[in-house]
Structure 1
Amino acid sequence: MPNTYFQFKQFRINQDQCAMKVCTDSCVFGAYVEVAQAKRILDIGTGTGLLALMVAQRSEAVVEAVEINPEAQAQALQNFQESSWAERLKLHPMPLQEFAKTCAQQYDVILSNPPFFLASLKSDDAAKNSAKHTGDLLFEDILTFAQQHLSKEGKLYLLLPPAEAAHFGELAKANGLYLCDTLEVYTRTGGKCIRHIQTYTFRPTSAAKGHALDIREADGTTYTAHFTALLRDYYLIF
């Protein structure tokens, strides 16, 4: 049975009501995005509120979050209210499409770990399907929102598997957003690439920068120095 919570150094993620639990690649994502200079941040599809809380810890920004699932909404709100940054965290309990109709803000950073399985088989768990499969939230919805609400010098960050990341990149370019950086996340040194962390801006680039992060050493057990340094401010074990 999964733990009902995940304890970080400065906050706790209660997750007993959420289909999607805290996972390593999401933690890498939350620690990697650049937010130090951001004044306003939006997390699309916040789930438990993990990413919103991670960027709140590393910034002075107002952090807003959008979530469609009622159970996840309640869980995220609980986690926000119990954190040290409750006054800077705001939850919008609605679909992104509905939020877009009334949103008048510009965001310095928009980040999302969106539903990403475009063609894989779905499970019998409706909540997991909503969290993992495109349907309620489409890539086009994220791009349309970013076009209207990402600041001129802002950055859009996505966490996706490699194939879906390539698909999103094609859609983004067609919609005036350009890939400027990709971090490839590997399970271990010499292992499988499981996720791409992509950074998009409105500025065209001749070639996106590429980086790699191995979570564990080749032995599959020891965390790499790169991963340890990235998560040092969050994980209790470091």
Structure 2
Amino acid sequence: MANSYFQFKQFRVEQDKCAMKVCTDSCLFGTAMDVKEAKSILDIGAGTGLLSLMVAQRSSASIDAVEINPEAQQQAKENFSISPWADRLKLYPESLQEFAAHNQQTYDVILSNPPFFVSSLKSPDAAINAARHVEQVFFEEILQFTQNHLDKTGKLHLLLPPPEAILFQKLAQKYGLHLAHTLEVYTKVDGKCIRHIQTYTFEASPAVVESIAIREIDGVAYTAAFVELLKDYYLIF
């Protein structure tokens, strides 16, 4: 059974109300995005609020977060309120479409760890299915919003499994967004690639592909690269 909370060095994430708990790949995503110079950030599908909190720790940006699930809304609000950055974090308890209808702001950074596994087998857990399984239309909603509300020099960051990452890249072309960078995430050295951390921009340029392994070849010890990224967050480092 997952813990009811996850304690980081500078903040705590309560997660008892959310189907999707704090996980290693999400934490890695939260550290891999370039947000140091960002002034305005949007988190689409905030869940517990984990990603918003992680980018708040290492930026001075104002951060908006959109979440449609009532239980997750309550959880994210709680986690924002007890964090050191409560004055910079704002939750919008609505769908992305509803938010888009009234939002007048453009963002330097838009990020999302969206429901995924479009082409994968479904979990028997209905709550996890609701959080993870999404039709292609939701990816297009993210792209449509990004096209209209991302600053022309801004960046869109996503965390997706490899098959969905390929699908998203194909869809992005219709919206004038170009894949600029991919960080391939492997379970361990010589292990399986489980996630792609993608960065999109409006400017077309040759895409850079890098990789990181979470654990050493023994499957136990964390790699030096992983420790370097998470050292300001994980209590064990």
Alignment TM-score, normalising by the size of structure 2: 0.98
Question: In the alignment, which residue of structure 2 is the partner of 1:201?
Answer: 201
* TM-fit CA distance, 1:120: 2.8
SS at structure 1 position matched to 2:225: helix
* TM-fit CA distance, 1:2: 1.1
Q: Counterpart of 1:214 in structure 2: which amino acid?
A: A
SS at structure 2 position matched to 1:94: coil
Gaps spanning 5+ residues in structure 2: where?
none
Q: Hey, what's the Cα distance between the residues in 2 that align with 1:114 and 1:68? A: 12
1:28 aligned to 2:24?
A: no
SS at structure 1 position matched to 2:165: helix
Q: Is the 8 A contact 1:9 1:235 kept in 2?
A: yes
User: For the aligned residues, what is the CA RMSD?
Assistant: 1.1
Q: Hey, what's the Cα distance between the residues in 2 that align with 1:149 and 1:61? A: 16
SS at structure 2 position matched to 1:134: coil
Question: In the alignment, which residue of structure 1 is the partner of 2:59?
Answer: 59
Question: In the alignment, which residue of structure 1 is the partner of 2:125?
Answer: 125
Q: Counterpart of 1:40 in structure 2: which amino acid?
A: S
1:72 aligned to 2:72?
A: yes
Q: How high is the sequence identity, in percent, across the aligned residues?
A: 65
Gaps spanning 5+ residues in structure 1: where?
none
How many aligned residue pairs are there? Answer: 237
Q: Hey, what's the Cα distance between the residues in 2 that align with 1:98 and 1:129? A: 23
Question: In the alignment, which residue of structure 1 is the partner of 2:218?
Answer: 219
Q: Hey, what's the Cα distance between the residues in 2 that align with 1:136 and 1:186? A: 25
Q: Hey, what's the Cα distance between the residues in 1 that align with 2:173 and 2:136? A: 23
Q: Hey, what's the Cα distance between the residues in 1 that align with 2:76 and 2:129? A: 19
Q: Is the 8 A contact 2:119 2:164 kept in 1?
A: no
* TM-fit CA distance, 1:135: 4.3
* TM-fit CA distance, 1:122: 2.8
Q: Hey, what's the Cα distance between the residues in 2 that align with 1:14 and 1:97? A: 27
Q: Hey, what's the Cα distance between the residues in 2 that align with 1:84 and 1:188? A: 33
* TM-fit CA distance, 1:173: 1.2
Q: Is the 8 A contact 1:130 1:136 kept in 2?
A: no
Deviations 1:157-212 (A, max 9, x none): 0100011101100100121000000000000000000000000000012x200100
* TM-fit CA distance, 1:141: 0.4
* TM-fit CA distance, 1:124: 4.2
Alignment TM-score, normalising by the size of structure 1: 0.97
* TM-fit CA distance, 1:137: 6.9
SS at structure 2 position matched to 1:138: helix
Deviation above 2 Å: which 4+ runs of structure 1? 119-127
Deviations 1:46-103 (A, max 9, x none): 1000000000000000011000100000000000000000000000000101111001
Question: In the alignment, which residue of structure 1 is the partner of 2:114?
Answer: 114
Counterparts of 1:225-236 in structure 2, within 5 Å, are 225-236=224-235
* TM-fit CA distance, 1:130: 2.0
SS at structure 1 position matched to 2:74: helix
Q: Is the 8 A contact 2:180 2:201 kept in 1?
A: yes
Question: In the alignment, which residue of structure 1 is the partner of 2:183?
Answer: 183
